[in-house]
Structure 1
Amino acid sequence: MNNNSLKATAIIQARIGSTRLPKKIFLPLSGKPILWHVYQRVKKSKLIDNVIIATTDLPEDDLVEMFCIENKINYFRGSSDDVLSRYYFTAKNFQSDIIVRITSDCPLIDSNVIDEIIKLFISENADYASNVLERTFPRGYDTEVFSFSVLEKTFFEAKEKFEREHVTPFIYNHPEIFKLVSYKINKDYSSLRLTIDTQEDYNLIKIIYDSLFDSNNFFNLNDVINFLNKNPELIKINQHIEQKKLGE
């Protein structure tokens, strides 16, 4: 990114120990681990300068470090519970001006969506921009953008456990302090579940990859929507799954 020399860094939080589907980040999609796909898709962004995988300092996440080394990916290790501190020290270590927050359970993440949210963040001179405050996107395309100064303020002032575990609640729960902007699309796809938290989620996304990946490695949101419109029965695979609440 070359906006007044501001450096945009995408930080992908990743760990082995997911409760519902352990080691999900290494489950295969079209012959590569989920985490590999998330990284490659984020890296395709035209506005991001650096993509970092932020994992924990738990021994089990040596596997994530090994994956990063083998694939020549920048990484940082920090607290497993205080994800806010992990983000803060990652961003500080890599001298980031703008942070793009992505989670590793989103192998359909769309670089075009990421870039549009970054553009909105800059054009609105916002403290925080995302497509999660007013949901129109499916789950699995979640992208949050905020400045390092906002992250630093949050790091020092957020006290509640859920504010430390989930990085951004302190920001979006204080609109009187921060300028928040939402990126929305015309049609509401928020009922679609295209993230990976359970076996059913994985089963659905595996079908999407098996159907779309070979003809276009970077198939986008429109491609996925078109595919699901043609195969509406697939949506039922994980429709019953409830999203985990903050703090769970």
Structure 2
Amino acid sequence: MKIVATIEARMTSSRLPGKVLLPAQGKPMLYHLVNRLKAVPSIREIILATTINATDDVLIDFARQENILHYRGSEEDVMSRVIGAAETARADVIVEITGDCPIIDPDLVEQTIQMYLHHEAAYVSNTHISSYPGGMDTQVFSLESLKRSATMTDDSLDHEHVSLHMRNHPEIFSHIHLIAPPSLHWPNLGLTLDEQADYILLKRIIETLSPKNPLFSCLDTIQLLKQNPDWLEINRHVIRKGNT
């Protein structure tokens, strides 16, 4: 069984264009994400799922430089893009990650994968029921399930938000949801890279914790922010799009 992480990323983000290549600790944000996924024991391959837009040529260069696979597909139909990426990587199981999670915790990704492997559920995630900080978002399902889901819906929203149809139909695709333990429970903490304020906060977190441990954990981040509560004001005003 081949487990593959797909990273959805593009340069034309409406709120913060080019965000995935913004620098922190001398490396692009996307580098930090890829480096963390490389540390997840069960992941056999990583593939960058980007678009056919010329603006995303730079992401193909990045993928080659980091020795990960890449796939180019539709900007709007992200579901078909992820399917194409997973097929290119010959995946059996998809670990779906978005490019705006540069400090995702490898242990939480592995935990979600293990939950999928040891249970009968078609869809496993730590994000559909909000409990972890934003930015730890991991979803795991088989390529077969995603392809089946794609054949069952023509709704553009389902095709834009890869797993939405599976999430909305637990009677077809059985679910397991990981809930954060008390030490990691902070659902209102925004650690996703959506706007400039998020970049300022994430850059500060990375440049504070990375020198000692580039793979610092979610708990490390929470402890740092509790020690520096004024940092929470940096991106408190950012309105999240929600778990569509």
Q: Of 202, 207, 221, which aligns to 1:205?
A: 202
Aligned to 2:45: 50
SS in 1 for 2:71: strand
1:70-110 Cα deviation digits (max 9, x unpaired): 22221111111100000111111211111000011111111
Aligned to 1:167: 162
SS in 2 for 1:129: strand
CA contact (8 A) 2:101 2:193 kept: yes
Partner Cα separation in structure 1 for residue 118 and residue 167 of structure 2: 19
Q: Give the Å deviation of 1:185.
A: 1.6
SS in 1 for 2:11: coil
Q: Give the Å deviation of 1:158.
A: 2.1
CA contact (8 A) 1:162 1:246 kept: no
- AA in 2 matched with 1:201: D
Query: Are 1:238 and 2:235 an aligned pair?
Result: yes
Alignment of 1:1-248 (within 5 A): 6-187=1-182, 188-245=185-242
Question: Residues 246 and 225 of structure 1: is their aligned pair in 2 closer, same or farther, counting only changes over 3 Å?
Answer: closer
1:3-40 Cα deviation digits (max 9, x unpaired): xxx11000001100000011001100100001111111
Unaligned runs of 5+ in 1: 1-5
CA contact (8 A) 2:134 2:189 kept: yes
Q: Give the Å deviation of 1:168.
A: 0.5
Q: Give the Å deviation of 1:246.
A: 6.8
Structure 1 stretches of 4+ moved >2 Å? none
SS in 2 for 1:102: strand
- AA in 2 matched with 1:93: T
Partner Cα separation in structure 2 for residue 71 and residue 123 of structure 1: 31
CA contact (8 A) 2:45 2:68 kept: no
TM-score, with structure 1 as normaliser: 0.95
1:151-196 Cα deviation digits (max 9, x unpaired): 1101212211110011000000001101100011222310100011
- AA in 2 matched with 1:238: N
SS in 2 for 1:12: strand
Computed over aligned residues only, the root mean square deviation of the Cα atoms, in angstroms, reads 1.1
Partner Cα separation in structure 1 for residue 130 and residue 15 of structure 2: 24
Unaligned runs of 5+ in 2: none
1:29-65 Cα deviation digits (max 9, x unpaired): 1000011111111111001111111110111111111
- AA in 2 matched with 1:92: E
CA contact (8 A) 1:117 1:130 kept: yes
Identity of aligned residues (%): 37
